[in-house]
Chain A
Amino acid sequence: MNTKLTGLALATMMAAAPSVQAGEVEVLHYWTSGGEAASVAFLKDQLAASGVDWVDFAVAGGAGESAATVLKSRAISGNPPTAAQIKGPSIQDWGELGFLTSIDDVAQANNWDEILPEVVSNVMKYEGKYVAAPVNVHRVNWLWANPEVFRKAGATIPTTWDDFMVQAQKLKDAGYIALAHGGQAWQDATVFEAVVLGVGGADYYNKAFVQADMDALNSATTKEVFETFGQLRQFVDINSPGRDWNLATSMVINGEAGMQIMGDWAKGEFKVAGMNPGTDYVCVAAPGTSGAYTFNVDSFAFFNQSDADNTQAQKVMAKEILSTDFQRVFNLNKGSIPARLGMARTEFDSCAHDSMDAFVASSASGSLVPSFAHGMAVSEAVSGAIYDSATQFFNSDDSAEAGVAALVAAVAAAK
């Protein structure tokens, strides 16, 4: 009896212990929806061709909140995955805690400094060394519009916020919902971000919402931002609280609503509905932001490994992520643009072309800014504070002064 039990226990322990094989990557990610899963499967096949085993560690759940929670518990227990989907300033946080491993040799061997734009490569580095690899670039400041609705209402697609109010009023008068919007905190923040960039410009954006400079936040420009943002309340329908972003997109697709402000992942919805860019739907930069670009970059960060084979596999994976094949396939599926510059662009659609052009142009002019609504600009604590003030303001009748005061207080408390 006793020996049997011990045997059983041993067997269980052996099964539970990580099976040590040559070259294996365990990848924590939250890409579980159709197109995203297909992209991940492609990476898996690429790695298999190089003799690296892929252990899938997908944690479903929206913006990766659940994945982040799982990652924290794995890291604390001393058993982090090989690579995990982490982005923006969080990479610095993990680097500071000493969990990340340098893949600088791979980066140098493959000229990452040259093929990646500097704003992107800076995010991927901790203390000057690459610790993460970018997979894509999303543009967040898009305005999606249904030209049919605009034609019927006799309105034109707005290019400034002042014009936006005029055209939106026309749509509203013609019986349409002017702005399709889902009243969830991150969507409120996405629209708020577009207003900040459109009203304040890139310099103000960087000072106030990237460096979280208190003087810039507590300024007349911020008040102007809140005034414009507050004017948008009247163009959103009464049912918006709690609505998911893709339902708002489908309101534009159905011709119920005229416009939506959302990142380029919205393109997938139009694509599935069989609509063509330029004719059935229009993608333009959010009002007042045509020369600017708020970017949201997804990336994989690499964790310290004790096993030498796995460290080797990690490097193969890092190299593969920046390969032209993976960047092309992944981004065609996801609606974003490749993180590496100078790739063939024929397969991408006109919205993606616009995005690529604007990316290069804004990077040269200094108006390429990280998206705070999507965790690229400030720490989670500060972006949470911005979320709270933006969503509270948008869902109330607060004056612009009150909005500024609440924002300043919340950011100061979160710093």
Chain B
Amino acid sequence: MFDYLEKQLPKLILAPTAIVTLVCMYGFIGWTAALSFTKSRMLPQWDFVGWHQYERLFANPRWHVALDNLLVFTVLFIVIALFLGLMLAILLDRNIRNDGALRTIYLYPMAVSFIVTGTAWKWILNPGLGIEKMVRDLGFTDFEFRWLVDPDMAIYTIVIAAVWQSSGFVMAMFLSGLRGVDDSLIKAAQMDGASVFRTYWHVILPVMRPVFFGAVVILSHIAIKSFDLVQSLTGGGPGYASDLPATFMYTHAFSRAQMGLGAASAMVMLAGVMAIIVPYLYSELRGKKS
């Protein structure tokens, strides 16, 4: 009896979490999927209309703006955050003095919520309050930096704020990766007379492949679910120029009584996340077996 209990104990302990996950995650994903095929407006209604909401969604110019923005934002955000994070990590790894203090400085933005980041950058980038005004006050009266209020450039201000927030975290990931690289490998490379650059490029970075992978997955899901940063930095504006799918979904499902359309956009977002996560899981699980 006792043995039986002991065997079952892990399952028993995990059961509540599993049930909550099943209901609250997968159950509601299913619920949203079902809603996206109905004509629900203010409240859920179960009149099924097939792919109608998806057709409406892709006929909506605002949705295309949101998708384009997501692509620009995700690619730039991941590439720049990875590059900056890696550079910071490599420089900090050169045994400089006070690296602990520096590490803390770069990591601190992570402790701030995206709402605070967005609000601070809204002021920094505002032409009448922030950088433009400061440089003009220094005497460069023709200086212009108006990305925040320019519909074509607003999305890049979101990239700036997001990179500022996240590159410290990427740095920490890479730093722990670098510290974990076997010293003998580096020594061997040095013995062979490899330059510092070649040592990193050919020896150390390939060893850190899993860290890259982890960073990309974490950054890409941050990018896809970005909502609070956009709300506080640009509010999706000017106009709807910096809308992202998450803000689009919220607006339509909750404040415009277009629940079916909102659900459809949520499902498209889910498909986007799956497109990244599934290959990752596949390679991870396959890697464990071999």
| Known pairs A72-B43, A384-B251; A392 contacts B240 (CB<8 A) | yes
* A-chain residues with CB within 8 Å of residue B208 when the two chains form the complex: none
* Minimum Cβ distance to chain B for residue A80 (Å): 12
Encode A64-88 as 1/0 by CB contact (under 8 A) with B: 0100110010011000000000000
For B44, the chain A residues whose CB sits under 8 A away are: 76
Name the distance in Å between B64's Cβ and chain A's nearest Cβ: 12
Q: Do A381 and B258 have beta carbons less than 8 Å apart?
A: yes
Chain A residues lying within 8 Å of B240, measured Cβ to Cβ, are: 185, 388, 391-392
Query: What's the dominant secondary structure at chain A's contact region?
Result: helix
Q: Is B42 an interface residue (CB 8 A)?
A: yes
Cβ–Cβ contact A75 & B43, under 8 A: yes
A335 is an interface residue with CB less than 8 A from chain B? no
Contact B235 A392 (CB under 8 A): no
Q: How far is the CB of A354 from chain B (nearest CB, A)?
A: 32
Of B62, B254, B257, which is in contact with the most chain A CB atoms at under 10 Å from its CB?
B257
Query: How far is the CB of A389 from the nearest CB of chain B, in Å?
Result: 9
Q: Are A391 and B239 in contact (CB under 8 A)?
A: yes
Q: Which residues of A contact B251 (CB under 8 A)?
A: 384
Q: How far is the CA of A395 from the CA of B146 in the complex (A)?
A: 14
In chain A, positions 158-209 with a C-beta closer than 8 Å to chain B are: 183-185, 188
Interchain nearest-CB distance for B76 vs A (Å): 21
Q: A97-B42, A406-B61 are in contact. Are A379 and B257 (CB under 8 A)?
A: yes
Interface assignment of A93: CB less than 8 Å from any CB of chain B? yes
Chain A, residues 375-414, CB within 8 Å of chain B (1/0): the string is 0000111001000100111111000000000100110011
Question: Contact: B128 with A391, CB < 8 Å?
Answer: no
Alpha-carbon distance A37/B241, docked complex (angstroms): 36
Instruction: Give the residues from 126 to 154 in chain B that come closer than 8 angstroms, CB to CB, to chain A.
Output: 126-129, 146, 148-149, 151
Q: Among the listed A93, A380, A395, which residue makes an inter-chain contact with B238, where contact means beta carbons less than 8 Å apart?
A: A395
Nearest B residue to A392, CB-CB = B239
Is residue A241 contacting chain B, with contact meaning CB distance below 8 A? yes
In the complex, which residue of chain A has the Cβ closest to the Cβ of B122? A242
Among A238, A380, A393, A395, contact of B128 (Cβ-Cβ < 8 Å): A238
Nearest-neighbour CB distance to chain B for A265, whole angstroms, equals 20
Q: With A97-B42, A184-B237 in contact, is A395–B256 under 8 Å at CB?
A: no
With contacts A241-B149, A241-B234, A413-B59 known, is A381 near B43, CB below 8 A?
no
**Contact partner, B127, options A184, A239, A380, Cβ 8 Å:** A239
For residues 197 through 237 of chain A, which have their beta carbon under 8 Å from a beta carbon of chain B? 237
Taking CB atoms, residues of chain A closer than 8 Å to B11 are none
| A379 CB contacts on chain B under 8 angstroms | 257
A383 CB to closest chain B CB (Å) equals 8
Which A residue sits closest to B126, measured CB to CB? Answer: A239
* Residue from B41, B59, B238, B256 in contact with A183 in the complex, judged by beta carbons closer than 8 Å: B238
Which residues of B sit under 8 angstroms from A393, Cβ to Cβ?
Answer: 239
* Interchain CA distance A188-B149 in the complex, whole Å: 15
Given A72-B43, A239-B149: A413 touches B56 (CB 8 Å cut-off):
yes
Q: Report Cα–Cα, A379/B42, bound state, in Å.
A: 10
Least Cβ distance of A397 to chain B in Å? 9
Contact residues in A for B149 (Cβ distance below 8 Å): 183, 238-241
Which of B62, B151, B241, B256 is within 8 Å of A381, CB to CB?
Answer: B256
In the complex, are the beta carbons of A391 and B237 less than 8 A apart?
yes
Minimum CB–CB distance from A410 to chain B (whole Å) comes to 8
Contact A97 B43 (CB under 8 A): yes
**Residue from B237, B254, B255, B258 within 8 A of A241 (CB atoms):** B237
Nearest neighbor of B144 in chain A, beta-carbon distance: A238
A394 close to B239 (CB less than 8 A): yes
Q: How far is the CB of B254 from chain A (nearest CB, A)?
A: 5
When distances are taken between beta carbons in the complex, the residues of chain A under 8 Å from B62 are 388, 392
- Say whether B41 contacts A395, CB under 8 Å: no
Residues of A within 8 A of B103 (CB): none
The answer on a CB contact under 8 Å between A93 and B126 is no
B128 touches A239 (CB 8 A): yes
B258 touches A395 (CB 8 A): no
Contact B60 A413 (CB under 8 A): yes
Known: A183-B238, A242-B235. Contact between A396 and B151, CB under 8 A?
A: yes
Which B227-286 residues have C-beta < 8 A from chain A?
A: 234-235, 237-241, 251-252, 254-258
Closest A-chain residue to B59, C-beta based? A413
Q: B148–A68 contact, CB under 8 A?
A: no
Report A-chain residues with C-beta under 8 Å of the C-beta of B42. 72, 90, 93, 97, 380
Whole-angstrom CA separation of A410 from B255 in the bound complex: 17
The 8 Å CB contact of B235, one of A65, A184, A414, is A184
Given contacts A76-B43, A76-B44, A93-B42, contact A384 B258 (CB under 8 A): yes
Expressed in whole angstroms, the minimum distance between the Cβ of A355 and any Cβ of chain B is: 28
- Chain A residue with Cβ nearest B62: A388
Closest residue of B by beta carbon distance from A75: B43
- Contacts A239-B128, A413-B56 given; indicate if A395 touches B237 (C-beta within 8 A): yes
Q: Which residues of chain B are near A97, meaning CB under 8 Å?
A: 42-43
Chain A residues, Cβ within 8 Å of B41:
93, 381
- Pairwise interchain contact B127-A185, C-beta atoms closer than 8 A: no
17 A-B contacts, Cβ less than 8 Å apart?
A: A65-B254, A65-B255, A72-B43, A76-B44, A90-B42, A97-B42, A97-B43, A185-B237, A239-B128, A240-B149, A379-B257, A380-B256, A381-B256, A384-B252, A393-B239, A410-B61, A413-B59
| The 4 A-B residue pairs with the shortest CB-CB distance in the complex, in nearest-first order | A395-B239, A395-B238, A384-B256, A239-B128
8 additional A-B pairs beyond A72-B42, A72-B43, A239-B128, beta carbons within 8 Å, are: A68-B254, A97-B42, A380-B42, A380-B256, A384-B258, A391-B238, A392-B241, A394-B239
